[in-house]
Amino acid sequence: MWYPSVQFICKISSPNEADKVWKSVNVSNFVTPPPGLDKRSSKADEFSVTLKPQPGTDFPEVYLITANLGPDLQLALEIKRPASIPGWKIGSGPKAGFSYLGNDPNKADGYVIHRFWPRFVASGTIIRDGQALSLTGHGMFVHAIQSMRPNLIAVKWNFVDFQSNELGGVSAIMMEFTTTDTYGKKGAGSGFASVNIGSVVIGDKLAAVTAQSSISPQGTVVSKATHLSPEHDPDTGYDKPNQVLFEWQGPSIAAGASGTVTAKLEQDLGTVEKPIGLIEKVDVLAEIPYALKMVVNYVAGTKPYIYQVIYFLFRRGSLLTPLQWMNPAKLSLTGPEELAPGLSKGVEVQGLLYSEATFIS
């Protein structure tokens, strides 16, 4: 009786251009995997995503993405993961990357999954209104799954992606969600719980992976996002941060470089009246199919918004409501000297930061 609704979502934004492109296309004849290809490839009439394994090379995993999203927009992109920067997930075994909701993982109310490529090389062509634009840059990739309606999982999210070509290649990424009060430390009604995971790449090597939960004892590992100077935004009804602080700390996992890696980034986002780097306040319900919008509104009674601040080119789509920002940023780093000269005494790295603050309820 049911057939899945599959969408291809593409957003293009430039800090130097006022116009933005948002395409959300319902695809037809979706197949995964196409005949003869692995389970990480898929295609439809409107797009194809094809994995091209290249074992033993500098880029062992390569995805080719093509899309024809209408007469005004076509894409052809190549995304390559460097061999020196493996993907990561928290935990081990087939359930690695899972965060369970409830008291018993074997009988969980639900779960979310996050698995990352913290830094990749991207190149390709975007054709807008017949004009071709060649692109090359760095970004991150996240494979994310939610097993429940978003409003049952969390009341808010943070996503962070910092990328820089200094020190041979640097990235600092982070994902954080705060649960509803159903999953407080002492059970339903005992408050909210937060889960934060992240990683730091230095010299194009995965230097540290961090994870922190508000319901677990604080250890030596730090993975934290803090909203500073919140201000009520009448457009969304939420308190948007005017500044943000992102922090990472964990043991080095790079070969031949023992010690502790720390990273810190503080960013001014401006006020409601005078924002800095704000790309868009995304009214999520305005961007999803009408039938799904009615279900979310009726069942959840939520008003999700995403604040987007973007500092890099390529970003996955989201079904929540974020504020999005993009600005030049400065990341403070310390760590083993083997990772980069001067790192033991601390260095500052200039780069671009993309951040999202998503509010659901």
Residue 113, domain member (yes or no) = yes
**φ and ψ at 284, to 5 degrees?**
-60, -40
Residue, of 204 and 318, whose pLDDT is higher = 204
Residue ranges of the alpha helices (H) in the chain? 150-153, 284-287, 290-300
Confidence of residue 321 (pLDDT cuts 50, 70, 90): very low
pLDDT at residue 310 above 60?
no
Looking at the 3D structure of the chain, how many domains does it have?
A: 1
Residue 68, domain member (yes or no) = no
pTM for the structure as a whole? 0.89
- Euclidean distance between CA atoms 203 and 214, whole angstroms: 31
Residue, of 160 and 308, whose pLDDT is higher = 160
Percent of the chain at pLDDT above 70?
86
Confidence of residue 236 (pLDDT cuts 50, 70, 90): confident
C-alpha 226: how far from chain center: 17
Q: Is 183 helix (H, G, I), strand (E, B) or coil?
A: helix
Exposure on the CB side of residue 164, measured as CA atoms within 13 A: 24
Residue, of 246 and 360, whose pLDDT is higher = 246
Answer for the pair 120, 80: CB distance below 8 angstroms, yes or no.
yes
What's the mean pLDDT in 264-269? 94
Look up tokens 């010690």; give the residue: 259
- Euclidean distance between CA atoms 314 and 329, whole angstroms: 17
pLDDT at residue 303 above 90?
no
- Euclidean distance between CA atoms 175 and 132, whole angstroms: 33
b/e map 176-190, b = 16+ CB within 10 Å: bbbbbebbbeeeeee
**φ and ψ at 182, to 5 degrees?**
-70, -25
Q: What is the DSSP letter of 350?
A: E
Residue 207 structural domain: 81-359
Residue 119, domain member (yes or no) = yes
Residue 223, domain member (yes or no) = yes
Q: CA of 38: how far to CAs of 57, 72, 145, 177, 288, in Å? A: 19, 31, 19, 31, 29
Q: What is the pLDDT of residues 98-152, one digit of tens each?
A: 999 988 888 999 999 999 999 999 999 999 999 999 999 999 999 999 888 778 8
pLDDT at residue 23 above 80?
yes
Residue 70, domain member (yes or no) = no
Q: What single string gives the DSSP state of each residue in 194-258? A: EEEEEEEEETTEEEEEEEEETTS---S-EEEEEEEEEEEETTTTEEEEEEEEEEEEEE--STT--
pLDDT at residue 319 above 50?
no
- Euclidean distance between CA atoms 306 and 50, whole angstroms: 30
How confident is the model at residue 320, as a pLDDT? 37
Residue, of 61 and 306, whose pLDDT is higher = 61
Residue 4, domain member (yes or no) = no
Residue, of 160 and 38, whose pLDDT is higher = 160
In whole numbers, what is the pLDDT of the chain averaged over residues? 86
Percent of the chain at pLDDT above 90?
59
How confident is the model at residue 112, as a pLDDT? 93
Confidence of residue 340 (pLDDT cuts 50, 70, 90): very high
**Which residues lie across from 232 on neighbouring strands?**
239
Confidence of residue 313 (pLDDT cuts 50, 70, 90): very low
- Euclidean distance between CA atoms 318 and 9, whole angstroms: 9
How confident is the model at residue 315, as a pLDDT? 28
Residue 76, domain member (yes or no) = no
**N residues, the chain:** 361
Written as six digits, the tokens of 359 are 């509010």
Count each helix (H run) and each strand (E run) in the chain, helices first. Answer: 3, 20
How confident is the model at residue 312, as a pLDDT? 28
pLDDT at residue 286 above 70?
no
**Which residues lie across from 75 on neighbouring strands?**
67, 126
How confident is the model at residue 288, as a pLDDT? 60
Confidence of residue 292 (pLDDT cuts 50, 70, 90): low
How confident is the model at residue 37, as a pLDDT? 76
Q: CA of 43: how far to CAs of 31, 40, 140, 297, 311, in Å? A: 6, 10, 22, 31, 29
pLDDT at residue 198 above 60?
yes
How confident is the model at residue 235, as a pLDDT? 87
Q: What is the pLDDT of residues 41-90, one digit of tens each?
A: 999 999 999 999 999 999 999 999 999 999 999 999 999 999 999 999 99
Residue 64, domain member (yes or no) = no
